[in-house]
Amino acid sequence: MPFQRNDLKFFAGNSNLPLAQKVAEYLGLRLGDCQVSRFSDGEINVRINETVRGHDVFVLQSFSPPVNENIMELLVMVDAFKRASANSIAVVIPYFGYARQDRKAKGRDPITAKLVANIITVAGATRVLTIDLHAEQIQGFFDIPLDNLYSFPVFIEEITRRYSNFKKDIAVVSPDVGAVRRASKLAEKLQVPLAILDKRRPADNIAEVVNIIGDVKGKIALMFDDIIDTGGTMIQGAQALKRAGAVRILACATHGVLSGNAVEKIQNSEIDEVYITDTVHQKNLPSKFHVVSIANLLGEAIMRIRKNLSVSILFK
């Protein structure tokens, strides 16, 4: 009997099936046959309807709302693949939830990002692929290989296409000091100046802009961050930028979580356009929102991992 070839198989949970389908198309594969359902009491039931024995499995699941449900779905799927004798199990997590709890900011705080890293590893994952971790040190929480992709190439392509005639008028704005490194990469690639918003957080999910470092007068201000959750940071930033003389305000963020009434608040704010990727699946967004797909970047990274090629070269 001939030896079975070690194939790549690509599966997905329920969190972001449209993105998973696009990635599968880029890879030239079909989505693996896997049913993720619920028992009558709400427990997760996973059934893999094809062999994965000896194969390299990639499974895509975003930690978008409902976060805890989606995390548990991934863990049960990884356990199923491990018990089905998959050769390797790489988890593709476009949006890594709980990443904002990456340190003890005050006494008796949990470090939930480390907890999530532990349970993914214990479940049986052999590699993690994610996009724009909220804090890059989270890579050190894993004892398995982790590839943290950057979203700025897809935003550069989109902004350059839409604002090719006004590129010299753009200024990239970091919405806080913690996002400077991320925003400076985008500014460097676009070859435009960088400004920084000096922000304070008096409480969770509340932001206040105190000062603007840099000149945005007469500029198209492009705020760039990793997450838009409640929208407070971007809305406060837009108000400050408008007062400072910015003529147009764009907001870019990799992960459009948009919890609560964030869409309505942004729609009524000083922000003219919002650019997000499809790491978090959103439906029926207003025309102010533009969704750019991260599928090709994910697909290329998966192929490079599979072929043992460099992933970092995608961002040089």
Residues annotated catalytic, as ranges: 199
144 token code pair: 């398995």
Round to whole Å and give the CA distance between 249 and 221: 5
Round to whole Å and give the CA distance between 5 and 51: 12
179 phi/psi in degrees, rounded to 5: -100, 10
Contact (CB, 8 A) for 241 and 221: yes
Q: At what angle do helices 180-190 and 152-162 cross, to 10 degrees?
A: 50
Residues near 240 by Cβ (< 8 Å), separated by ≥ 6? 197, 209, 212
Residues near 276 by Cβ (< 8 Å), separated by ≥ 6? 228, 252, 253, 254, 255, 256, 282, 289, 290, 291, 292
3 state SS of 158: helix
